[in-house]
Amino acid sequence: MENSSDNSIEDEYVHKVVGIEVTSPNSGVKYYIPDVPLKNKPYEGTLFVTLDHALNYYQYYASISGFSVRKSTERYDRFGVSTQKLFVCSQEGFNKKKKVDTLNDTAKQKASRISVSKRVGCKAEMCVVFECNLWHVKKFVEKHNHPFVDDQDMHFLVSSRKLTHLHKHIINSMSRMNVGPVRAFNMMREIYGGFEEVGASKEDFKNYKKKYNNTIGEYDAQMAVDHLMRKKEYLPNLSCEYFTDDDNCLRGLFWADELGKKNYHIFGEVMSFDATYRSNKYSMVFVPFTGIDNHCCNVTFCGALLGSETTEAYVWLLKCFLKAFFKQPKVVVTDQDPAMTKAIDLVFKKSRHRFCMWHIMNKLSIKVGVRLCNSTDFKGDICNIVWTDAISAEEFDEKWKKIIDEYKLNDNKWLHDMFGIRKSWIPAHNKDEFFSGLMRTTSRSESENNFFGQLCNSRSTLVEFLSHYESALESQRHTHRKNDHETRFTNPELKTIWWIESEAAKIYTRTTFLDAQIEMDMMRKLMCQTFTPEGDFVKYYIKDWTQATSKPFEVMYRESDKTIYCECRRFESFGLLCRHIFYVLRQMDIREFPKKYVLRRWRRDVVPNGSNRNDDSGVVPALEDGGRALLRDII
């Protein structure tokens, strides 16, 4: 009994041949016949209306049998009309062997991998001929010289795998989010519930994407330009400029849509741009122009691709920017790139050019010495006067020279040069300039690069990059709409009983209000030491216990027109009132928020309803002829 039980278990785990196995009594050769119902088998004389019907019928027969089909030879009459078609088993014939010279030991032959073949010379076939306006089966051979595939493995057959329009749409859509074909397949596998349920293999997904990119090939740059120029036909307010070199290679591409222009008109006082992110397989640098919106978030005005970081390239780029936006920003923040600096001086003559503080301070240890920065208080002393805006320009100069003398760094050329251009990067020397403190570093541009980098990679074609850019921009604008929604339909918790606080909550966006609320809440740490009349103004001396300096802040207030300004220059730097001004307004029992000090850029209603919608989301640019026509065949 035990032996019979063991045998039954062994039989259960033995692979069984699919189909009917027959052995020839004469030759002893085995062949296999599909075990399918008779009604599903083709036979000589079976009629079909079209050739496709014949192919579909034979493919269905093959799918339930366990083999796959491919098309073979075809005959035509003297008018070029097909009269005969042969469909064979996919394992028909043999692969042609390439002749190899064994004496030629080349690297190419060494690198060639071992190939396998599924062809075994199978003779199974179905031949159909066209007569009397119908196709009929002339010959049908059902014997195969190989076993069939089990039902559970049918999805491995080529005929059982087919990329549908849905598959291609998912691959292309995932690509817009920088999701490759393998990850796209794995996502579909989870959604459909298994490998066999997808209807295609991982290799099919990869091959489609590879074929897509290869089709783009040499037409990549032209397709990218055509994409933008075609959109320009549908969207007249979209700007697009490009230039090529003597070899007709794309060297610069600039584009700006209508919504980017609207955002620049509202938020374009301060702007940064940085060209450090190589976003495509041609190593063209991506240059986003970035500002700050009314929620203190990044807002992208436009984008560009440059083939080189030369002064000429940047001059061309900034001229394109002026042509599209018509006005220069008040403040431009960049790193210390000499080519970029020269271009800004030539084109943005009315703009205040500031250098990124972080890039300069990041060089401190290299330029001065790691030992001095790490083993002394030098770095801390320098940072205390560089990053603060609580001191005046005169105080900064005095303290800088004192530190240089204390650490005996008078001979350091780099420190001498940085002090010489202090008006281009030190906050204490820019307090009187409007919006000088809103953006001090290029971190906005770098975070933009990181943001776009999450949706792109250095292997992307230009066509893919533009698709990724539009997808990322759509995400950014969706975030802005979400912030607008939360501002309009949520109410913040008030911290004081002062009427101006509740009024500010109705004027500002949520993020901006929280900033103003902090300033109002900090009034409890202020004290008015004294006040003196000065002409039409009254000067208040406000002691701020949170500031390191012992000098009180001077606030000037004129009752007749409610004019007020503070020595700390916070409103001039950021466009927002400081705690010292709020303190004086409360002392004067002002119950209405001073509208003259509410900048339009910080208001909750600065962006009208619906203006953040992508007007170009439905525009699908037509592809031109030539190699680009192949792309339509793939899609």
Q: How would you write 62-94 as a 3-class SS string?
A: HHHHCCCEEEEEEEECCCCCEEEEEEEECCCCC
Same domain flag for 458 and 496: no
What does the DSSP assignment read for 179-201? Answer: --HHHHHHHHHHHHTSHHHHSS-
Same domain flag for 339 and 469: yes
**Is residue 112 included in any domain, yes or no?**
no
**Is residue 608 included in any domain, yes or no?**
no
Burial 313-325 (b: 16+ CB within 10 A, else e): bbbbbbebbeebb
pLDDT of residue 267: 94
User: Could you tell me the CATH number of the domain that includes residue 317?
Assistant: 3.30.420
Contact between 486 and 466 under an 8 Å Cβ cutoff? The reply is: no
**Is residue 365 included in any domain, yes or no?**
yes
pLDDT of residue 139: 93
Assign 538 to helix, strand or coil.
Answer: strand
Question: How many structural domains compose the chain?
Answer: 5
251: phi then psi, degrees, rounded to nearest 5: -120, -10
Among 534, 528, 597, 530, smallest CA distance to 561 is for: 597
Assign 245 to helix, strand or coil.
Answer: coil
How many whole angstroms separate alpha carbon 414 and alpha carbon 465? 39
Give Dmax over CA atoms of the chain in angstroms.
126
pLDDT of residue 626: 36
Strands 331-334 and 270-273: parallel
Same domain flag for 338 and 453: yes
At 384, which amino acid appears? Answer: N
Same domain flag for 43 and 143: yes
How many whole angstroms separate alpha carbon 6 and alpha carbon 577? 88
Same domain flag for 308 and 377: no
Q: How would you write 35-69 as a 3-class SS string?
A: CCCHHHCCCCCCEECCHHHHHHHHHHHHHHHCCCE
**Is residue 473 included in any domain, yes or no?**
yes
How many whole angstroms separate alpha carbon 451 and alpha carbon 574? 25
**Is residue 528 included in any domain, yes or no?**
yes
What does the DSSP assignment read for 431-446? Answer: TTSTTTTT--STHHHH
Same domain flag for 90 and 148: yes
Using a CB cutoff of 8 Å and minimum separation of 24, what contacts does 479-483 make? 479/297, 480/293, 480/295, 480/297, 480/299, 480/607, 480/612, 481/612, 483/295, 483/297, 483/509, 483/510, 483/511
Chain centre to alpha carbon of residue 571? 35
How many whole angstroms separate alpha carbon 197 and alpha carbon 188? 9
Contact between 591 and 576 under an 8 Å Cβ cutoff? The reply is: no
Q: C-alpha distances in angstroms, 583 versus 392, 520, 532, 544, 602?
A: 22, 8, 16, 11, 21
Among 352, 520, 522, smallest CA distance to 423 is for: 352
Q: Could you tell me where the beta strands, DSSP code E, fall in 230-361?
A: 239-244, 250-256, 270-273, 277-278, 285-292, 298-306, 331-334, 352-355
pLDDT of residue 566: 92
Same domain flag for 397 and 416: yes
**Is residue 231 included in any domain, yes or no?**
no
Same domain flag for 454 and 594: no
Same domain flag for 515 and 417: no
Spans of the chain below 70 pLDDT: 1-16, 97-117, 154-155, 159-160, 176-178, 213-218, 276-282, 442-458, 548-550, 609-635
Same domain flag for 310 and 458: yes
Angle of CA points 86, 75, 41, to nearest 5°: 25
Chain centre to alpha carbon of residue 274? 16
Tokens 């303190």 -> residue: 583
Same domain flag for 69 and 127: yes
- C-alpha neighbours within 13 Å on the C-beta side of residue 150: 6
pLDDT of residue 456: 59
**Is residue 107 included in any domain, yes or no?**
no
Classify the C-alpha dihedral 510-511-516-519 as positive or negative. Answer: positive
How many whole angstroms separate alpha carbon 500 and alpha carbon 505? 9
Range of the domain at 529: 492-602
Question: What radius of gyration do the chain's Cα atoms show?
Answer: 37
pTM of the full structure: 0.74
Q: Count the Cβ atoms, other than its own, within 10 Å of residue 328.
A: 18
How many whole angstroms separate alpha carbon 469 and alpha carbon 475? 10
What is the DSSP-derived secondary structure letter of residue 384? H
Q: Which residues pair with 305 in a beta bridge?
A: 253, 286
**Is residue 610 included in any domain, yes or no?**
no
Same domain flag for 133 and 26: yes
How many whole angstroms separate alpha carbon 337 and alpha carbon 344? 11
Strands 331-334 and 352-355: parallel
